[in-house]
Structure 1
């Protein structure tokens, strides 16, 4: 497997681990000092949410457990490898199903772009150093 393919596999694993609630494995896709920078459409673009400690990362992944089901579909991506560093630009559509108290269900769909940074590890594996998440728009609707 080439380095580019290994980086793409990390991207794919992130989505799979999110959807299967394997939070520890999702967390382990990041370096020890790994982080996320999150831009939401309702926030000031100059003030993103910083997920910059191991505790915050784990809490972010654990938060997905509030949903009955999630489904992350990865769209086009571009991966560039330069030595022991890599970058990726990834489109994702994330679906989140909520079971409401009245028995109905709702669906939140987030249209996301990731601007990712990776570092190659001594064993040849790749890990995220930062995931810059841009939630371009989010829609909420009843689920039939």
Structure 2
């Protein structure tokens, strides 16, 4: 177990704000709020997707907030999604910059000819956060897909 230390109210507020940012990303995805989701990123954000977490070459790499629009719009093909956020760890934290890792189980439901299917993805996000004008944003988000499972739903 790690040793717990006293942290300042400012650091506690920053840690909470970063967790709320991570949660807001999942909430916006599940509510299909692409504009809200895009607003969580810096204008010059770097978003990288590794569909196979073991492959060092990304399957997709984007370099601006505007470039995220089609990625987030892709969620519209699902009948429903639930992004369940697990542990979220801050690796480093300064007054205006932080890094961390978040685990997520992403549930994607499709309906085709009345048949429902579930695609479950185990995701990890390696993030770089920046504080701009008092708000924390994603400066870089690296999405790693550790595994996928597909199955029929009743």
Structure 1 residue 15 corresponds to structure 2 residue 26:
yes
Distance 1:47 1:88 in 2: 19
Counterpart of 2:82 in structure 1 is 71
Distance 1:54 1:141 in 2: 33
Counterpart of 1:92 in structure 2 is 104
Structure 1 residue 59 corresponds to structure 2 residue 70:
yes
Equivalent of residue 2 in structure 1, options 13, 21, 28? 13
Unaligned stretches of 5+ residues in structure 1: none
Question: CA-to-partner distance for each residue in 1:24-65, whole Å, 9 max, x for gaps?
Answer: 000000000012111012884224410223342011111101
Counterpart of 1:128 in structure 2 is 138
Runs of 4+ in 1 over 4 A off after TM superposition: none
Q: Check the 8 A contact 1:35/1:57 in 2, yes or no.
A: no
Work out which of the two has the higher radius of gyration on C-alpha atoms and give 1 or 2. 2
Q: Check the 8 A contact 1:36/1:130 in 2, yes or no.
A: yes
Structure 1 residue 140 corresponds to structure 2 residue 127:
no
CA displacement at 1:110 relative to structure 2: 0.4
Q: TM-score when scaled to structure 1?
A: 0.92
Structure 1 residue 115 corresponds to structure 2 residue 119:
no
Unaligned stretches of 5+ residues in structure 2: 1-11
CA RMSD between the two structures:
1.6
Structure 1 residue 33 corresponds to structure 2 residue 44:
yes
Distance 1:78 1:43 in 2: 21
Q: 1:42 to 1:132 in 2, by over 3 A?
A: closer
Q: Check the 8 A contact 2:41/2:138 in 1, yes or no.
A: yes
Instruction: State which drifts further: 1-10 or 109-118.
Output: 1-10
Q: TM-score when scaled to structure 2?
A: 0.87
CA displacement at 1:143 relative to structure 2: 1.1
Give the total of aligned pairs.
142
Distance 1:77 1:127 in 2: 15
